[in-house]
Amino acid sequence: MSIPIYYKSYSAPDVNKKELQRFALCSAEMDAESEKLIDSCISELLQELCYKVCYAYFPIALDKDELDLGFARVKSSSLAKNLTGCSHIVLFAATVGAGADRLISKYSRIQPARSHIMQALGAERVESLCDVFCDEIGAQADKRGYCVRPRFSPGYGDLSLGLQRQIFATLDVTRKLGIALNESLLMFPTKSVTAIIGLKKI
């Protein structure tokens, strides 16, 4: 049976400066120079990003720590705990594109502090994209009498990073979003995420 794969693009979410500071390991109280650097990085990087997601719905079945996710069978007590009581999942991949990687690389030797902020801002951007998408899925689920579980990615807990291969094949991630997966199962652009959202009947 063919599973529909959906694609969405989003406008830029508002920058969460507190999250940006957390990713950058900055103190809560910043001096004017640090504030100026962050604002400058935001202004430059936001012009280089896109916000794209592809996703699909699957019915699932759990037997203790063994899970049939509809697109793959896995063994993971961590994911099983997260999905307890769920009947379906949303499998998704998200990216903000390669712009962050280009600027991180550009500034890594000539302006390390700027490169560091770009790294943190790229992380905040893709997390904000995931938050927007998950909130949207949650609102749709609520209308159908479901609640959503926190998103769960390969590499969390005891869920094998090897699941990335099945996710990429199932969602056709490289063609749809332009994300490559290397032999070490790392993604490029690096500011990309794959994850599972559990749907539980209320």
Local structure of residue 46 (DSSP, 8 states): G
Record the pTM: 0.95
- Structure confidence by residue, pLDDT tens digits, 89-129: 999 999 999 999 999 999 999 999 999 999 999 999 999 99
Question: Tokens for 33?
Answer: 């120079």
Is pLDDT of 175 > 90? yes
Distances, alpha carbon 174 to alpha carbons 8, 53, 92, 130, 170, in Å = 15, 12, 13, 18, 11
- pLDDT, mean of residues 129-154: 98
Pairing of β 192-201 and β 86-95? antiparallel
Local structure of residue 152 (DSSP, 8 states): B
- pLDDT, mean of residues 136-162: 97
Q: What is the dihedral of CA 169, 3, 130, 155, to 10 degrees?
A: -40
Is pLDDT of 73 > 90? yes
Radius of gyration of the chain (CA): 18
Query: Secondary structure of 180-194 in the HEC alphabet?
Result: EECCCCCEECCCEEE
Asked if 12 and 50 count as a contact pair (C-beta separation under 8 A), the reply is no
Confidence band for 1, pLDDT divided at 50, 70 and 90 = low
For the chain, list the domains and their CATH numbers: 6-201 (3.40.109.40)
Average per-residue pLDDT for the chain: 96
Q: What pLDDT, on the 0 to 100 scale, is given for residue 79? A: 98
Asked if 130 and 94 count as a contact pair (C-beta separation under 8 A), the reply is yes
Question: Tokens for 35?
Answer: 């504030």
